[in-house]
């Protein structure tokens, strides 16, 4: 596909959150080359100030995001509110040679 063909192709309808997953899938299925060109141009991208919300929405759609879509960057904040992390404990250093492991071989020495 030539660059002037892509420029002449109608751009998909988009809003502040970009182009919907369903429309992207349809465009990709119907014309993979045009889809790739539009993708590279950023035609599907959300507005810059909505990028975090768009990413959270897409992750939520794929069941990879369990928090609320709030448009704020910062997984640590939402992770802390939903998961109890183990507290660090003091750890003793390994004891003895090779930390107590014995390496055995069934081969005869050469």
Q: Is 56 exposed, middle or buried (0-12, 13-18, 19+ CB in 10 A)?
A: buried
pLDDT at 4 over 70: no
Number of domain units in the chain: 1
Range of the domain at 49: 3-83
Q: What is the pLDDT of residue 17?
A: 81
For residue 8, tell me if it sits in a domain: yes
The two structure tokens encoding residue 36 = 């790739």
For residue 99, tell me if it sits in a domain: no
For residue 10, tell me if it sits in a domain: yes
**Over the stretch 47-77, which tens digit does the pLDDT of each residue have?**
888 999 999 999 998 999 888 888 988 755 5
For residue 107, tell me if it sits in a domain: no
Where helices occur in the chain by DSSP H, the ranges are: 3-8, 21-30, 32-41, 51-61, 75-82
CA distance 54 to 3: 28
Give the Cβ contact number of residue 54 at 10 Å.
19
Q: What is the largest CA-CA distance in the chain?
A: 74
């Amino acid at each position: 596909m030539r660059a002037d063909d892509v420029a002449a192709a109608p751009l998909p309808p988009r809003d502040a959150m970009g182009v919907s997953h369903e429309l992207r899938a349809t465009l990709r299925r119907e014309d993979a080359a045009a889809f790739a060109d539009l993708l590279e141009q950023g035609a599907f991208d959300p507005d810059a100030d909505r990028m975090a919300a768009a990413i959270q929405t897409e992750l939520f759609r794929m069941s990879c995001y369990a928090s609320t879509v709030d448009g704020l960057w910062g997984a640590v904040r939402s992770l802390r509110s939903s998961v109890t992390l183990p507290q660090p404990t003091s750890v003793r250093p390994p004891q003895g040679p090779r930390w107590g492991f014995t390496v055995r071989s069934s081969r005869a020495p050469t």
